[in-house]
Each structure stands twice: as structure tokens, then as C-alpha cells.
Amino acid sequence: MPPVSNDFSKIASALIKNFEATKENDEGKKISVNILVSKVASYYEKLRTAMDYGNEETILRRAIERILKRRLVLEADSKALAEGLVRELVWAGYFADLTVPESIVDRVAESIELFQNLKEQTVKRRLLKDVDVYELIIGLLSSEIDVILLPNKEKEAMSNFMFHVLKNSIEIVDDSKQTRDVQVYIAIRKNFDRDDAPFLRYKLFLQIFGKLSKENFEKVLDNFALGVNEIEYQLSYPKKDRVFNHIKKNTPPFLILYDLLMLEKGHVRKLAKEPEALKNRVFEICRARYKNVRDKITTAIIRSFIFILATKAFIALFVEGAFERLFYGQVQWFSIAINTTVPPLLMIFVGLFIQTPGNKNSQKIYQDVLKLLFEENPQITPTLSLKLKSSSAVTLRDRVFYILWLLSIILVFGIFVVVLTKLHLNPISQAVFMFFVAIISFLSYRIYQTANTYTVIFKQNITTPIIDFFFVPIIRVGRRFTEGIAQINFILIIIDFIIEMPFKGLVGFFEQWFSFLAKKREELE
């Protein structure tokens, strides 16, 4: 264990300065919305996000993307679109009333105009083939607006610090250091910043082109196709999962250090002079984070439960019910009841057995935090060596493993078929049941991953190989299904374009009406 002193390493000192800097206060006029309107809109937004699929850290970006898609249908003027978007976000409670300066609307409008122009020119020149340009640009734009509205310089500084520390803990022997650096950067953004795919594309876009502006627009346009191809290559890099898992195992100390610096700000230098006080503070933060993880698990279970029920309601009523009426003459409510209740209950059951870390885990994190603060070249993990190209052809052992993998999938789903047949479920009901069990398994696995966000000590027991054998095939199938229905969730499509559009229109109308009434009241004074 390194000695605790006030002598921070050079990179740690540079990092700490970012947390000590005072933020500039914008005294300009702030956006204000009606309290009643905001309450109604915020309740709707909570319900809508509960039905969404995605991690908590990217809720704002996804909300921006959703609002952009809806408003772009009706509004062509960038300034009006930007103003409406920002007001909606304040309505929905993403930002408190009177906290967002009106001047920020101009910056959002400029980004909308630039990215819309980039989309139009890309389509006009046919620069990208086999790429959904609309979805690409919407993802980039929503990410940039997120950064404009909610900048986090401290988190960016910690990401850069983490990159500096961990980039040399990986080597790809038959590829360039530049590729290695990009893969480490992506893995850090996914693990520490919790960026989703559109955010990752945006961050890589910035690395390649810089921020899109009127000055560099033509240069970006000329090289846009090459840049997009490079981004997609890096995001689908063959060894990305190995790099991701390596970085993931070493992320917890950085998360706790980030919390320490955010909570202590300028006091961290004083705290460093008192070793016992520093240790107690780190342990205290760890305990708070473990509790927070438990709360996140509960929230994830509730959101996944609602996500499943919303999707299940559509399939039960319009697919399974229609099939049974057509082939059996009536709806078989017993099979629908099983399909509707068992998968969500399975998720709740799994959630009850998920545990959070203990004191041994906190001790290991504390030791790593000391290294990060006081060692010039902190080494918190052994180097992972990877090889891009396989040194030999597929071996007989590899073929055997692939066959066993296929047999395990057939065996697991075969067991489901036998049990469900015993319960007299028809083939379509069996398919629906296995479909949702696969999705539940994947969502439960994601919740398990959330529980291990701060875990650095992993233990395997005798049941681990058995669980891997039976559940990994289901989880992988569930991931495919979940990603698919997240894109074509008819319930959410109906809500976004049939319910949300008129609802938000009414919210806007009533806000203007209440504002008009307030002005009339002021005339009486």
C-alpha cells in the first residue's frame, strides 16, 4: 500500500484542479414554465421513461431524441424547434424551473441547423450507403444537445484521467496503438460514463472532426463517409468485448474517486493529510454507493416489469389472442395468464437474490484509490495482451465447443417445450412464453451487472458453471429479442406519435393560456 501524504501525483493534481475550479454563474434570463403544467408533464414523462429500454444515465439523451423526432415532423424553423424542445424538457422535470438560461436556445438551434444541413447534404450527395442517415444524425444531434444542456467537465476530466491510467494496461500485439487507444476510450465511455451507442458515435465524431461548426462544415462533409466508416469499424471491433470487460473490472476505484472529489471539492487536499479520515470517507462513500445500487436494482426491476407488461399486453391481445380465436375458436385465458404473470414474477424473484458488495470490496477499492492519488504511474491491474488475428485455423476443439453450445441451446429450450406441453399450452403460447423468459433473463442479467457496478472482488462457486450452461444461451437469445423489440415496440410508437403529440400540444396550449391569464391579472393591479 502506498504511503498516504499530501504529495499527489502530477496527473492526480491536474485532475483535482478540475474539481476545485468554481463554476461560472450565468445571470441571464432563465426559462420559466407554469407549475401546474410542469407537474402534469413530469408525471407523464415518468410513466413514459418507465416503459423505455435503456440505462438511467442516457434518459435525457433519449428524451431529446424522442422530442426531436416528433417536432421535426411539424417544425422546420431551427430556433422555434430548439425553444420548444428546451421548454418541453423543463416541463418534464429534467431541469428545474428558472435554471436554464434562455441564451442556451440559440446554441441548441445552431446545432439543429448544422446537423440538419449535414443530413440533407449527405443524402443529396449519396455519401453513405447501407446506413440510416436519419437515425445517425438524430443520434449525433441529440447527444450534442445533451452536452450543451448538461455539461459535466468534472466527469470528462475523470474519463481522461482514467484513460491515461488504463491505456497501457492493454496491448493488441498485431494492431496499432491508435486502435488500442480508441478501444480503451470506447470501453471507458461505456463503463464509466455509461454512454449508449449514439453517444459513443458522437464522442468518436468529436475525436475525428471536432465540434461541427459553420467554419469546418465543408471539411466535415467531404470526409463524413470515411469518418462514419471508421466509427462503425471501431464500434464493431473484433476484440471490443475483451477490452470492455477488462476496463469494466477496473472501473469501480475511479467511480469512488470521482464521488470523493465531487463531495470534497477543495477539501480533498486537507483530507489527504489525515490517513484515517481519508479511509473512513472512502468507506463511507462505498457504503452509500452500495445502497444506491440496491435502489437502482429496485428501479430497474420496476422499469423492466412495466416494459415487459406493455410489450406483453400488445402480443397477448393482438397476436396470441388472435391466433387462438382463429385456430381454437376462443381465447385460452389460462395460457395468457401464465405468459403474462410468470416472466415478470421470475424477474422479481431473481432481483431478491442479487447482493451488493461488502467491506472486503471497499478495502480493495480504498487501496486502489490511494494508488491513483499518490503514485506517478499507478498500476491497479495486470496488462491484458490480445491478438487480433488467430494464429491458427479453427481447431477440432473449437468445433466441438460450437456443437456443444448449439446443443445447450436446444436442450434448454427443449426443457421449456416439454414442461409447457405438460401444462397444455398451445405452440404459439409456448413460443410467446419462451420469448418473454429469454427477455426477462437478459434484463435480469443487466440488473445483475448493475449490482456489480462497484464490485472488484469476484467469487465463483460450484453452481456458476451450471448457471452458465443453462442461462447464458437464454440470455444471449434474450439480448437479440430485447434489442429488436426496443426498436419496434408498437406500444411506445403509439404513445410517441398518437398520444404524446396531442398531449404535449395541449400542455403547450394551457401554458400559453395560463400565461395570458397572468398578464390579465397583472393589469388589474
Whole-number pLDDT of residue 278? 94
Q: What is the gyration radius of the CA atoms in the chain, in angstroms?
A: 26
Which pLDDT score is estimated for 329?
A: 66
pLDDT of the residue at 53: 60
Query: Quick count: other Cβ atoms within 10 Å of Cβ 207?
Result: 15
Query: What is the pLDDT, as a whole number, of residue 298?
Result: 78
Q: How does pLDDT run along the chain (525 residues), one tens digit per residue?
A: 444 445 889 999 999 999 986 666 666 788 887 777 777 777 777 766 766 666 778 889 999 998 999 888 878 899 999 999 999 899 888 898 888 999 999 999 999 999 999 999 999 999 998 889 999 999 999 999 999 999 999 999 999 999 999 999 999 998 999 999 999 999 999 999 999 999 999 999 999 999 999 999 999 999 999 999 999 999 999 999 999 999 999 999 999 999 999 999 878 888 988 999 999 999 999 999 998 887 877 777 777 677 666 666 666 666 666 676 676 666 666 776 776 777 777 777 777 777 788 899 999 999 999 999 999 999 999 999 998 876 555 677 778 878 888 888 888 888 888 988 888 887 877 887 888 788 778 877 877 887 788 898 877 666 667 767 777 778 888 777 776 655 555 555 566 566 666 666 666 666 666 666 666 665 666
Alpha helices, DSSP H, located in 150-274 = 153-166, 177-191, 197-209, 217-235, 240-249, 252-264, 268-271
C-alpha span between 170 and 159 (Å, rounded): 17
Q: What is the residue extent of each domain of the chain?
A: 291-458
Burial category of 309 from C-beta neighbours within 10 Å (exposed 0-12, middle 13-18, buried 19 and up) = middle
Q: Per residue in 70-83, pLDDT tens?
A: 888 878 899 999 99
CA 343 to chain centre: 24
